[in-house]
Chain A
Amino acid sequence: MGPLTTIVLIPFATVIILMFLPRKQEQWIKRICLISTGLTLGLSTWLVFDYLARIGGIHSSKLPSGIDLPLEYVEKMPWLSNLGIEYFMGADGISILMVFLTAVVIFSGVCASWYHNYRTKEFFIFLMLLVTGVFGVFVANDMFLFFLFYELAVLPMYLLIGIWGTGPREYSAMKLTLMLMGGSALIVVGILVLYFESGGHSFAFSEIAKSKIPLTTQTWLFPVMFFGFGTLGGLWPFHTWSPDGHASAPTAVSMLHAGVLMKLGAYGCLKTIYMMPEGAKMWGTFFMVLTTVNIFYGALVAIQKTDLKYITAYSSVSHCGLVLFGLATLNPTAFQGATVQMYAHGLMTALFFALVGMIYGRTHTRFVTEMGGLLKVIPFLGVAYMIGGLSGLGLPGLAGFIAEIQVFVGAFTLDSVGHRIMTILAAASVVTSAVYILRALTRMLYGPMVDPHHEHIKDATFIERVPLSLLVFLLAFSGIFPGWMIRLVEYSLAPVVNQLQRVAF
């Protein structure tokens, strides 16, 4: 059993173990989850190092020349062989980075849910089930398997929000699930069409990419699939599940959903481009327009919000817009930026939602207008929030900057006036994001104490400091030493870039 299967099976095994534990043993349930997520974190960290070593280290500049994905740790077994469906696991650098992100976020999420006390057993079972799906999506290379995991990742969300959420949770849960299911429906259509158009031999990504899907099919299928995945990636105008869903979801679920699940969408979009390069070239500009709207509009709406979760959700819309924007430009540098943004935004938004949850647990409000001067009583949480916010507004030295600058440099290679204007509008989001982030930050942390009840709240406990420190450390580390991420994604994006170059127009 290879490392990839292991990493998928660890959370699944946890689900099974948890089922047999008595529900009263809440501490043990949490401990087991912590251990298993700790294991996945260790394993995924090892994968990062090992993969880097396999591709020649950080300083190597060797790139794969063909259009085969540079997969490592491949596991291949026939599954439904008459349809060509295989159990096909394999990871390239992007998968590795995303697996690492998932492991970090779920580990942090478990720590952040340490004080969870309502139907704890079921909560963690669903959470682990969700994670199984997420890990699976990133390492599956057979589209059938991919879709299986994809649905596994989307569905438990309904229960997690509907049962453990706050506010209008049933509405939010239903909305989120239905909209994402709508996206899934498009994806199913896409997968089946691709399968049949490529000759009906295989569901593997590389095989389909090599088989040259007919141009007419690509013309209509590309937007279908891009919208399908884009819905999960927060593509405008199908982003509205995100603010409501994230606002209602419990802390760990918001973290995982905004931090990782939205990246599934972007990851799928990247695969779509890989499989249909002509379609991508045809529709690239169209999606650039939509994602420019995403970026700018998300930031402008966030300025108006006073609920911390809504602010974070709209900032996610804006930042995930940047991911899709980078992909839509079809430029290697922007691809790098987009992929790094997936990682950077994952860390950042997980940090945000963890903090919002912790702050809400103390102040019993999420409205910045009802807070003020909190830095005095919760310095640790406050500083962590500031660092997250600074990464959000693209401060150099933190991971967000690496991503943004790469996307902008890449997008700037498109030198028609329209593209330039879109790029400049997207770049202008660095100002608007500074506005909403600083407004929220200073309102909440600075100034005199607004509510006298807040005088006595306590700062973060040890178990809460663990995830915050981990996320802050990774944000800073990746921002100061970006070489390893760039190497991972540069190497693995080469096939996509080669595939696009192969296309004549």
Chain B
Amino acid sequence: MSGSWFIDHLWLVPLFPFIGFLITGLGLRGFKHAVSSAVAIVAVGLSALVAWGAAIDYYGKFGGKTLIPWQYCWLKFSPTLQGNVGVYVDDISMLLTIVVTTISFFIHIYSQGYMHGDKGYRRFFAFLNLFTFSMLGLVLAPSLIQMFVFWELVGLSSFLLIGFYWEKPSAVAACKKAFIVTRFADLGFLIGLLLLAYYAKGLDFVHINDQSTIEHLNSIKVPFLGLSLLPVAAILVFMGAAGKSAMFPLHIWLPDAMEGPTPVSALIHAATMVVAGVYLVARLFPVFAIAREAVAVVLAVGTFTSLFAAIIAMTQFDIKRVLAYSTLSQLGYMMLALGVSSWEHPLGFTASMFHLTTHACFKALLFLGAGSVIHAVHTNDMREMGGLHKRLPITHITFLIACLAIAGVPPLSGFFSKDEILAAAWYSGHHLPFLVALFVAGLTAFYMFRLYFMTFWNEPKDLERHNHAHESPLSMVFALVALAIPSIAAGFIPFGHYVYRGELEHHGINWLIAGASIVAGLCGISLAFILYFRPNDLPSRFAYAFGVFHKIVYHKFYIDEIYLYVTHNIIFKYISAPFNWFDRHCVDGFMDLTAQATLQAGRWVRRTVTGHLQTYLVWVIAGIILLSLIIWNLNDVIIWGLAIIALSGVLIAYIYQFVCTLLKKTEPLKRIDRD
């Protein structure tokens, strides 16, 4: 009992959306649309209330401590190893709880307008509640096992929501891909979990993150590779994290996931679920802080992804895909920040969580804004938009705020968090990642404003669509405005006071680094302004000038094609299909051969029963000879002789039958049947 009602009842936070899911999903198919969305919104609203209450109590009274207000042994592996479920309260879990509940709440409200009239309206809200429940369960997990359980459940809700328009083949392909790719990554997580469970003899984070456990783990060598256990386990866990957070090379599912309705993209594939990977690494910070090899991997993957995705984002034309690649790039940023942090330089940890928070606000806002645009013009293609700033004034303003925030223009939130990441990289001595991050900041500003100018300025390309465009309903606009406020102001939160590991050296803003990032951002914006503010042929001339390179980037470096080739042409064709053949023709073939050889042997033996007296007489004589041999005490000889005759008979039958089968002279057993 911690003395705070909200913290003691924190289990209500995931419970409300779960109840909402049960009500909207199971029992009440006859509900009116408005009722089911109301149930869903109230459920999430209540959970947001409790979450905020708990967070205020926590940061006010218990800052920096870890509390477990409720815990229960859910799955007993052995008398010594237990899988606990419960509620884990510390700085980052509270942070994520309020981020998830708040953004989910606004997106629920937004969806009420966005999904209006859709025939899957009730299903949509049920799934959205399911997702919120799973995500909160993940965030509040006190043990790896609960983390894994809800990790899979968010994957499921993601699958269901990407495939929301399940009659559309592209949505079906996308949801399948998302599930299988993340599932593959989860295999790494699972094995990492097993390793930790076995060597650390516990699955609770309190136990695993304990210094003595980590030292114990660090002293163990795994039997192969010659590596110490800790980095191996950490890298495997990171594989799961990379899958969920769509890090290169497991990023391929996220752009396709944009097949889902836009609020889903905003909630799941931008603000919350995809940061689960970042959260997992942060959750195991003490482990990663010691496992230097693993941190190096995190840093390399994060840095590369941020650059790689930003480059692709510059060439795409689908408004949601640009945002998706932008999400990838920003997630790479967060990973990069974690990758540069250690016990000596823990600033990266804070920076990562800070960026996670601000990113959740402005990226959700961007997606919702994009949704509002799509709602108005009914297309995703930026080439068919343009000049919408007058038609959609509120969407335009809020979208601009979000663009400025992500581009890192002061004093919006993105500036502060991005600056902190850059500072963390610089102070910890990772100069190359620092330079890459700085470059990516410029690219980010460029592609975001490219999107912004192409959509809201420039010339309307399709007058038909343009003239029918109108501002979205109140519920959608409300959510946009509500999210615009934190996008502007979240940067002023003294984040380092609340979320930190180790001793955080408090240095103010380093204006050299900040200046560099501002300059990079402004360069990007100006370039975008020149290229896209007014219609001109510069963009296509640029594309032409880059030639092959542009083509490669435009096709996303052909990574999807490579995956498709590997799965279909190599795994299915050369691994799975031969197994199938082997099973039917060798394993089962042998069984059939046995049956046929038996039949054949029977046919041979039948010839001894001819019905002719002479033949029987021969057998009688043979019998007499045998008996007389027994009388002469030659039992062994007879037994062995008979055995050899029988065995060779069987063998001959087999060989005969096998040859017949090869020469296709026998009828397959199956065809002998009636039908």
Which of A40-48, A83-91, A199-207, A445-453 faces chain B? A445-453
Q: Are B76 and A435 in contact (CB under 8 A)?
A: no
**A77 / chain B contacts, CB cutoff of 8 Å:** none
Given contacts A395-B156, A482-B75, are A447 and B167 in contact (CB under 8 A)?
Answer: yes
Bound Cα distance A175, B172 (Å): 39
Given contacts A395-B152, A405-B75, A448-B169, are A301 and B588 in contact (CB under 8 A)?
Answer: no
Which of A30-38, A268-276, A344-352, A411-419 faces chain B? A411-419
Q: Are B194 and A427 in contact (CB under 8 A)?
A: yes
Q: Are A171 and B673 in contact (CB under 8 A)?
A: yes
Bound Cα distance A305, B149 (Å): 30
Q: When the two chains form the complex, which single residue of A305, A333, A445, A448 contacts B78, counting CB atoms closer than 8 Å?
A: A333
Q: When the two chains form the complex, which single residue of A178, A402, A428 contacts B187, counting CB atoms closer than 8 Å?
A: A428
Q: Is B532 an interface residue (CB 8 A)?
A: no
Q: Is B34 an interface residue (CB 8 A)?
A: no
In the complex, the chain B residue whose C-beta lies closest to that of A336 is: B77
Q: Are B78 and A304 in contact (CB under 8 A)?
A: no
**A438 / chain B contacts, CB cutoff of 8 Å:** 176, 179-180
Bound Cα distance A415, B199 (Å): 10
Q: Are A408 and B583 in contact (CB under 8 A)?
A: no
In this complex, which of B166, B583, B670 has the most chain A Cβ atoms within 10 angstroms of its Cβ? B583
Q: Are B180 and A434 in contact (CB under 8 A)?
A: yes
Q: Are B673 and A170 in contact (CB under 8 A)?
A: yes
Q: When the two chains form the complex, which single residue of B74, B150, B187, B583 contacts A301, counting CB atoms closer than 8 Å?
A: B583
Q: Are B674 and A170 in contact (CB under 8 A)?
A: yes
Q: Is A290 an interface residue (CB 8 A)?
A: no
Q: Are B190 and A397 in contact (CB under 8 A)?
A: no
**A142 / chain B contacts, CB cutoff of 8 Å:** none
**B:58-87 near A, CB below 8 Å:** 74-79, 81, 83
Q: Are A412 and B197 in contact (CB under 8 A)?
A: yes
**A178 / chain B contacts, CB cutoff of 8 Å:** 595
Least Cβ–Cβ distance between B204 and chain A, in angstroms = 15
**B579 / chain A contacts, CB cutoff of 8 Å:** 297, 300-301, 304
Q: Are A175 and B595 in contact (CB under 8 A)?
A: yes
In the complex, the chain A residue whose C-beta lies closest to that of B581 is: A304
Q: Are B184 and A442 in contact (CB under 8 A)?
A: no
Bound Cα distance A430, B188 (Å): 11
* B-contact bits for A400-437, CB 8 A (1 contact / 0 none): 01100110111011011100100110011011001100
Given contacts A396-B148, A412-B194, are A240 and B223 in contact (CB under 8 A)?
Answer: no
Q: Is B296 an interface residue (CB 8 A)?
A: no
**B77 / chain A contacts, CB cutoff of 8 Å:** 333, 336, 406, 409-410
Least Cβ–Cβ distance between A179 and chain B, in angstroms = 7
**B595 / chain A contacts, CB cutoff of 8 Å:** 175, 178
Bound Cα distance A176, B383 (Å): 63
Bound Cα distance A362, B224 (Å): 54
**A396 / chain B contacts, CB cutoff of 8 Å:** 148-150, 152-153
Give the number of residues in A that approach B within 8 Å (Cβ atoms): 65
Q: Are A447 and B191 in contact (CB under 8 A)?
A: no
Q: Are B172 and A304 in contact (CB under 8 A)?
A: no
In the complex, the chain A residue whose C-beta lies closest to that of B156 is: A395
Q: Is A133 an interface residue (CB 8 A)?
A: no
**A:168-189 near B, CB below 8 Å:** 168-171, 175, 178-179
In the complex, the chain A residue whose C-beta lies closest to that of B169 is: A447
In the complex, the chain A residue whose C-beta lies closest to that of B588 is: A240
Least Cβ–Cβ distance between B162 and chain A, in angstroms = 11
Bound Cα distance A69, B149 (Å): 34
Q: Is A332 an interface residue (CB 8 A)?
A: yes
Q: Is A295 an interface residue (CB 8 A)?
A: no
Q: Is B577 an interface residue (CB 8 A)?
A: yes
In this complex, which of A168, A373, A416 has the most chain B Cβ atoms within 10 angstroms of its Cβ? A168
**A237 / chain B contacts, CB cutoff of 8 Å:** 587, 590
Q: Are B191 and A442 in contact (CB under 8 A)?
A: no
Bound Cα distance A179, B169 (Å): 43
In the complex, the chain B residue whose C-beta lies closest to that of A420 is: B223
**B:574-631 near A, CB below 8 Å:** 575-577, 579-580, 583, 587-588, 590-591, 595
Bound Cα distance A68, B350 (Å): 58
Q: Are A446 and B580 in contact (CB under 8 A)?
A: no
**B:147-201 near A, CB below 8 Å:** 148-150, 152-153, 156, 163, 166-169, 172, 175-176, 179-180, 183-184, 186-187, 190-191, 194-195, 197-198
**A375 / chain B contacts, CB cutoff of 8 Å:** 166
Bound Cα distance A409, B575 (Å): 28
Bound Cα distance A413, B81 (Å): 12
Bound Cα distance A406, B587 (Å): 30
Given contacts A301-B583, A395-B156, A396-B149, are A167 and B194 in contact (CB under 8 A)?
Answer: no
**A405 / chain B contacts, CB cutoff of 8 Å:** 75, 83, 145
**A297 / chain B contacts, CB cutoff of 8 Å:** 579, 583
Q: Is B669 an interface residue (CB 8 A)?
A: yes
Q: Is B675 an interface residue (CB 8 A)?
A: yes
Bound Cα distance A435, B176 (Å): 8
Q: Are B152 and A448 in contact (CB under 8 A)?
A: no
Least Cβ–Cβ distance between A228 and chain B, in angstroms = 16
Q: Are A416 and B223 in contact (CB under 8 A)?
A: yes
**B180 / chain A contacts, CB cutoff of 8 Å:** 431, 434-435, 438
Q: Is B672 an interface residue (CB 8 A)?
A: yes
**A240 / chain B contacts, CB cutoff of 8 Å:** 583, 587-588, 591
Q: Are B673 and A397 in contact (CB under 8 A)?
A: no
Given contacts A375-B166, A448-B169, are A412 and B195 in contact (CB under 8 A)?
Answer: yes
Q: Are A415 and B670 in contact (CB under 8 A)?
A: no
Bound Cα distance A297, B581 (Å): 12
Bound Cα distance A482, B85 (Å): 12
In the complex, the chain B residue whose C-beta lies closest to that of A248 is: B673
Q: Is B565 an interface residue (CB 8 A)?
A: no
**B223 / chain A contacts, CB cutoff of 8 Å:** 415-417, 420
**A417 / chain B contacts, CB cutoff of 8 Å:** 223-224
**A373 / chain B contacts, CB cutoff of 8 Å:** 167
Q: Is A214 an interface residue (CB 8 A)?
A: no
**B224 / chain A contacts, CB cutoff of 8 Å:** 417, 420
Q: Are B198 and A415 in contact (CB under 8 A)?
A: yes
* B-contact bits for A323-340, CB 8 A (1 contact / 0 none): 000000000110010000
Least Cβ–Cβ distance between B15 and chain A, in angstroms = 13
Q: Is A483 an interface residue (CB 8 A)?
A: yes
Bound Cα distance A297, B169 (Å): 29
Q: Is A252 an interface residue (CB 8 A)?
A: no
Given contacts A169-B673, A333-B77, A442-B163, are A447 and B183 in contact (CB under 8 A)?
Answer: no
In this complex, which of A170, A332, A420, A442 has the most chain B Cβ atoms within 10 angstroms of its Cβ? A442
**A:229-247 near B, CB below 8 Å:** 236-237, 239-241, 244
Bound Cα distance A483, B75 (Å): 6
Bound Cα distance A57, B247 (Å): 47
Q: Are B190 and A434 in contact (CB under 8 A)?
A: no
Least Cβ–Cβ distance between A452 and chain B, in angstroms = 15
In the complex, the chain A residue whose C-beta lies closest to that of B583 is: A301
**A236 / chain B contacts, CB cutoff of 8 Å:** 587
Q: Is A464 an interface residue (CB 8 A)?
A: no
Bound Cα distance A303, B588 (Å): 18
Given contacts A169-B673, A406-B75, 7 further A-B contacts (CB under 8 A): A167-B675, A179-B591, A240-B588, A304-B580, A427-B187, A438-B176, A482-B74
**Interface residues, chain B, CB within 8 Å of chain A?**
74-79, 81, 83, 145, 148-150, 152-153, 156, 163, 166-169, 172, 175-176, 179-180, 183-184, 186-187, 190-191, 194-195, 197-198, 223-224, 572, 575-577, 579-580, 583, 587-588, 590-591, 595, 669-675
Sorted nearest first, the 8 A-B pairs with minimum C-beta distance are A396-B149, A304-B580, A240-B588, A446-B166, A446-B172, A412-B194, A168-B670, A434-B183
**Interface residues, chain A, CB within 8 Å of chain B?**
61, 63, 167-171, 175, 178-179, 236-237, 239-241, 244, 297, 300-301, 303-305, 332-333, 336, 373, 375-376, 390, 393, 395-397, 401-402, 405-406, 408-410, 412-413, 415-417, 420, 423-424, 427-428, 430-431, 434-435, 438-439, 442, 445-448, 482-483, 486, 490
In the complex, 20 of the A-B residue pairs with CB atoms within 8 angstroms, ordered by the A residue number, are A168-B671, A168-B675, A171-B670, A175-B591, A300-B579, A301-B579, A336-B77, A396-B153, A397-B149, A401-B152, A402-B75, A405-B145, A408-B190, A413-B198, A416-B223, A423-B194, A430-B186, A442-B163, A446-B163, A447-B169
